[in-house]
Structure 1
Amino acid sequence: MNLHFANIFEAMSDAIPESSCMVQGTRSVSWREFDDAASRLAAALFAAGVRPNDKVGVYLYNCPEWMVTFYATLKIRAVPVTINYRYIDQELGYLLDDCEASAVVYHSGFAERMEKVASTRRDRLRLLIQVDDGSGYSAVESHITYDSILRDFPRREREQRDPTDSVLIYTGGTTGLPKGVALQVGMTAGGMLMGPLAERALGLDRPPGLQFIDFALELHRRGEKRVACPVAPLMHAAGLTLGAIPALCTGGTIVFLPRPSFEPATLATSIGTHGITTMVIVGDAMARPLIHHLEEARAQGIHYDFSSLRVIVTSGVALTTDAQRGLFEFMPDVTILDQAGSTEGGLGHRRLTKSNYLLNPGFTTFPGVRVLRPDDTDVEPGTGERGLLACPTVAAGYYRDAKKTAEVFREIDGKKYVLAGDWATMEHDGTVVLIGRGSSVINTGGEKVFAEEVEGIVCTIPGVVDCLVVGTPDERFGQTVTAVVSVRDKGLTGEDIAAGVRQQLAGYKIPRRIVFVPEVPRSPTGKPDRAQAVRLAKEQLSGNQSASSQSRPQDLQSETRAGIRGARGSAA
């Protein structure tokens, strides 16, 4: 059996057909039902003219149908394409044009948008399949329903596949417009499943040479089946590659939360109800609301059962020390696997426990990771010298974007690397410490301020829920460090935040302007939406306060005296 996800899933469905592989709410899907649904959906796609290398968009919330669509598409050697479910008309149309989609499977709540976008693309979109999400929208007459496919189409026979088949994962747009990263299935499966990262994400230790199917059967025999909950959206690479796929490839179960929105109470309850062993979250964006809920629940005498939870995987957004402390307070026995990298290429991970997290260890890198000077030579480890992070990659590049591929994917010393603009230092032991992304650097009076560094400090201030730091125009200094902050403590002032930063960072890094908003703008995957943060800051700083931003009529904007005093100063 070659390393192809469809082949592995078929082998699991043959070996453990009645075992549950997916759960959402009260619904449970067995391996037999998973394979049956994927086989029928594959038949429908093929009957509509979808052929190998054609693109099938997955425009769904996290649910069993997401994985069925992924599996069915790979069964016929077509290419599954991840679609951000928050995209509206123009963005959705852009992505469908960019990937040249032949079919889309979407939730019924998106029906009106899907029909509008598809109406000008009939020549290419061969099939539109609507999945009922309980939103009350009736099926579009020209589209076919998912339920009718399961009822009316026969199972498609299995076929030979090639490990060069691919998956197209669209980035979250942190480096510009979303771009499709083409990943070969075989190389991705090999890197993901044969290496240690995915197994550590599941808290497993697979003996060398033992096939996945044999390992799965052994886990079932021992009663140690893994149960993974990708809280992060599956369109986010970490939710798919560190949660859903490793669980299925070891015969485990995926638990999907019942509703698309992140509900900390539902997650906390689900861990004990379903015996979740691994959950995948998006850094502080999910950890902080969860911790806040657990604190409130404890105050009310409510306690949750986390005894089954072994690993928390976090990726996409930084998990600050303050958030780590909060998670370990309620889940002292878990291991936090802090995964760093991007869709284009992985950096490595930090394995944090209650006993070592305060040491703030660097990231243990994947083989071949380098930190480079501008002349492509390596920085000297242990000197604190900053350089650009270069990660080995198996990605072919950006789909249909040769210019951006040439900028980001480079061959250095005969090997292929991705340089996404992340700055880092390398320690004596070879671990890497991330500093920030070049695109988020603020130039204030000639001083360079890494936004992520300031954000990490602001988020440790009691009462702060979330923060993004951006540069806003300044006549004197070019840009001014500006914090866009959401708070739990309505009494918190801009002076309080500036004072908190002053205790740990140099004066020029202290936010001179602080804008309070009800919610810090982020993408569905939790990644920062800095462009929207800048717009919110400019609106409020100019006095044009939008109704949606008026969380604190007093002190909505705060160009703090403390910040002004320290902005040009040295470290406090």
Structure 2
Amino acid sequence: MEFNYADLFEGVADAIGDRVALVCGARRLTYAELDAQANRLAHHLESAGVKPGQHVAVQLYNGIEYAVALVAALKIRAVPVNVNYRYVESELRYVYQDSDSVALLYDVEFDERVAATVPQVESLRHLIAVGGASSVPGAVPYEEALAARPATRGFGPRSADDTYIIYTGGTTGMPKGVMWGMKELLFAFWNPSLPRPGVPEDVVEMARNAGPMVMMPVAPLMHGAAQVATFIAWWMGATVVYVRRFEAAEVWRTIEREKVNSLTITGDAMAIPMVEELERSPYDLSSLLAFVSTGAILSGSVRERLAVVLPNIMIMDRFGSTESGSTAEAVAGSTPEKGLRFAPDVADVTVLDDALQPVKPGSGVIGQVARTGFIARGYYNDPEKTARTFPEVDGRRWLLTGDIATVEEDGSIAVYGRGSQAINTGGEKVFPEEVEAVLKGHPAVFDAVVTGIPDERFGSRVAAVVQPQGEPPAPQDLDAHCRKNLSGYKVPRTYAFVKEMKRSPAGKADYRWAKETAQRSVER
């Protein structure tokens, strides 16, 4: 056995085959049943000519088939590639081509976009349609693909160096595929509350000996956080619960029905509608122990509302990225409004200054969060970005996350925001996350994204795109609210009100869209 996800899953399936591995709606599979389905799909992919190292695109909503596709690809040493199901034809063509995918699993709801795009991608030669009949020529129905192949294994040996790719980004440019080695991925995202395995068999024994646990990644599986959360749960021998698409009431109904113990969301974009649903309707959440946000930080006002509707439940913010893994946990009392502080999980996480040297704790020197050790290999098809983001310093390879920060005297890391999104207005830096958190604390604001737009005097001005709760508040009311909590130069000078905020399915802000929206409001 290797530190390889397919090896580990097969070992866990052999050890606890009768335990429920996966639930989505009325459907549930044991570990043995999931393994058998993945074997069938893996054999089908092999028969279609998919070879080790080749890429299999997955364009699906959350569900049994997504998990089967991930495991099946890994079993034959192929690489699953997550595709954003909201993408339009030009974006799909980019991901299909950039990833060099040779096969595609897609929900039939996406027939029209798939049919229009696939003929333009020479490498994409095999299609599997999920969820019913497809109008796309040549597509093989998912159930037919499985039925024609054996449920047994019979695959070749694998390696801890096999590749896993997670496409990420798209808030400021087209997404990039983050490449991981299997062992590095395992340890970078390892649950910090558990002992680290010395050999692969330790993972299997941990799953075998674990008590019953039900875990729910709420974000879409096309977001890396949900994929990683699924595997983490399986290494703990847990049952993983999905909802097909995010809808707050359905999430709470599922938690109530399946007795979920831990759920993982992505920031305020998911937390706010979930809080509002709990404020409207009661649910039996007696099984719930932990509410975790990862990939996006909860604002203080939302955390306070969560604490009211979820008393005695642990509410946690995790810090990390697709390139770095899960690296730190928010210090108690830390919020974007008051200042974010994180306690690193491992010594490999620090802050590097402009000379790429570690910042001395308590010095006040500003740098960016960096990690060494278990980090990604780089970006697929982008050696230039890989070189910039993963420099070698004194013989050690580092990841520069782009998060601007300093190190406090106690060793905690104070994070100000993402450097690429910082707004330089009159020589002062403004980090959008801080302003967004303050705006979302106003009772008339449902959501907010802050960006910079051109300004003749200051170079850039702070602009806010706001989705209101009901009628838009007066800009002067928002201005007064912000000035109570922020220095004057951080207060938005332009407001654009929208009926619906544009975010990714995982809740990530679309800063390109926000900048364009704010600029249009000025030009009117």
TM (normalized to structure 2)?
0.94
Give 1:106-121 correspondences, 5 Å limit. Answer: 106-121=106-121
Deviation by residue 1:126-157 (Cα, 9 ceiling, x = unmatched): 3110111x7xx634341101110121122342
Tell me if 1:9 matches 2:31: no
Letter in 1 for 2:259: G
Whether 1:177 and 2:174 are equivalent positions in the alignment is: yes
Distance 1:390 1:361, change over 3 A: closer
What is the one-letter code of the residue matched to 2:509? P
Match of 1:547 in 2: none
Shift of 1:491: 5.6
Specify whether residues 538 and 457 from structure 1 end up closer, same or farther in structure 2 by C-alpha distance, changes over 3 A only.
same
* Correspondence 1:533 to 2:520: no
Deviations 1:496-519 (A, max 9, x none): 111111011111111111111112
Give the CA deviation at 1:360: 7.0
- 1:251 match: 237
Change in 2 beyond 3 A, CA 1:175/1:475: closer
Deviation (angstroms), 1:429: 1.3
Q: Which amino acid aligns with 2:112?
A: E
SS in 1 for 2:136: coil
Change (3 A) 1:372 1:85: same
Partner of 2:488: 507
Deviation per CA, 1:192-242: give whole Å up to 9, x if none. Answer: 34xx43xx4xxx6789888232222323xxxx322111111122222121x
Distance 1:438 1:192, change over 3 A: closer
Task: Give the equivalent residue in structure 2 for 1:560.
Answer: none
Q: Give the corresponding residue for 2:303.
A: 324
Amino acid aligned to 2:247: E
Alignment of 1:249-328 (within 5 A): 249-257=235-243, 259-260=244-245, 262-297=246-281, 303-328=282-307
Q: How many residues of Structure 1 are paired with residues of Structure 2 in the alignment?
A: 519
Give the whole-Å Cα distance in 1 for the aligned partners of 2:255 and 2:22. Answer: 15
**In structure 2, what is the Cα distance between the partners aligned to 1:479 and 1:161?**
52
Who is 1:561 aligned against?
Answer: none
- Give the Cα separation in 2 of the matches to 1:26 and 1:533: 39
The 1:55/1:485 distance shift into structure 2, 3 A limit, reads same
CA contact (8 A) 2:215 2:241 kept: yes
- Distance in 2 (CA, whole Å) between partners of 1:356 and 1:116 is 48
Deviation at 1:317, TM superposition (A): 1.8
Tell me whether 1:149 sits opposite 2:145 in the alignment: yes
C-alpha distance 176-384 of structure 1, shift in aligned 2 (>3 A): same
User: Following superposition of structure 1 onto structure 2, how do residues 82-481 of structure 1 map, counting pairs within 5 Å?
Assistant: 82-121=82-121, 123-132=122-131, 138-155=134-151, 156-174=153-171, 176-193=173-190, 196-197=191-192, 200=193, 211-219=202-210, 224-241=211-228, 243-257=229-243, 259-260=244-245, 262-297=246-281, 303-346=282-325, 348-350=327-329, 362-365=341-344, 366-392=346-372, 393-481=374-462
CA shift in 2, pair 1:335/1:310, >3 Å: same
Q: How far apart are residue 315 of structure 1 and its match?
A: 1.6
Give the whole-Å Cα distance in 2 for the aligned partners of 1:206 and 1:190: 8
* 1:567 corresponds to: none
In the alignment, which residue of structure 2 is the partner of 1:550? none
Give the match's secondary structure for 1:45. Answer: helix
Please list the CA deviations of residues 417-464 of structure 1 after superposition, one character each: whole Å capped at 9, or x if unmatched: 111322012111111111011211112222221111111111112221
Aligned 8 A contact 1:10 1:35 in 2 = yes
Partner AA of 2:520 in structure 1: E
Higher RCO by CA contacts (8 Å cutoff, separation 6 or greater): 2
Write the distance in 2 (CA, Å) between the matches of 1:484 and 1:108. Answer: 34
- The amino acid that maps onto 2:87 is Y
- CA RMSD of the aligned region, Å? 2.2
Gaps in structure 1 of 5+ consecutive residues? 298-302, 544-572
Q: CA deviation at 1:472?
A: 1.6
CA distance in 2 between counterparts of 1:350 and 1:71 reads 29
Q: Percent identity?
A: 40
Q: What secondary structure is seen at the aligned counterpart in 2 of 1:232?
A: coil
| One-letter amino acid of the structure 2 residue matched with residue 38 of structure 1 | A
Partners of 2:339 and 2:176 in 1: how far apart? 33
Secondary structure of the corresponding residue to residue 46 of structure 2: helix
> Residue 82 of structure 1 aligns to which amino acid in structure 2?
N
Aligned equivalents of 1:151 and 1:399: distance in 2?
Answer: 34
> Matches of 1:360 and 1:449 in 2, distance apart?
13
Residue type at the aligned position of 2:490: K
Following superposition, the deviation at residue 100 of structure 1 comes to 0.8
1:73 aligns with 73
Distance 1:32 1:379, change over 3 A: closer
**Which residue number in structure 2 is paired with residue 558 of structure 1?**
none
> What TM-score, normalized by structure 1, do the two folds share?
0.86
1:515 partner SS: strand
Question: The residue matched to 2:204 in structure 1 has which SS?
Answer: helix
SS at match of 2:253: helix
Q: Quote the offset at 1:475 in angstroms.
A: 2.1
- Give yes or no for contact 1:472–1:479 (8 Å, CA) kept in 2: yes
Q: Distance in 1 between matches of 2:454 and 2:172?
A: 21
8 A Cα contact 1:371 1:389, kept in partner: yes
Where does the alignment leave 5 or more consecutive residues of structure 2 unmatched? none
Q: 2-side partners of 1:343 and 1:505: how far apart?
A: 31
- Measured in 2, the distance between the counterparts of 1:325 and 1:511 equals 24
Question: Which is worse superposed, 344-353 or 8-17?
Answer: 344-353
Deviation at 1:359, TM superposition (A): 9.0
Residue 380 of structure 1 and its aligned partner are, at CA, apart by 3.1
Q: Give the deviation of 1:369 after TM superposition.
A: 1.8
Please identify, of 357-366 and 44-53, the stretch whose mean Cα deviation from structure 2 is larger.
357-366
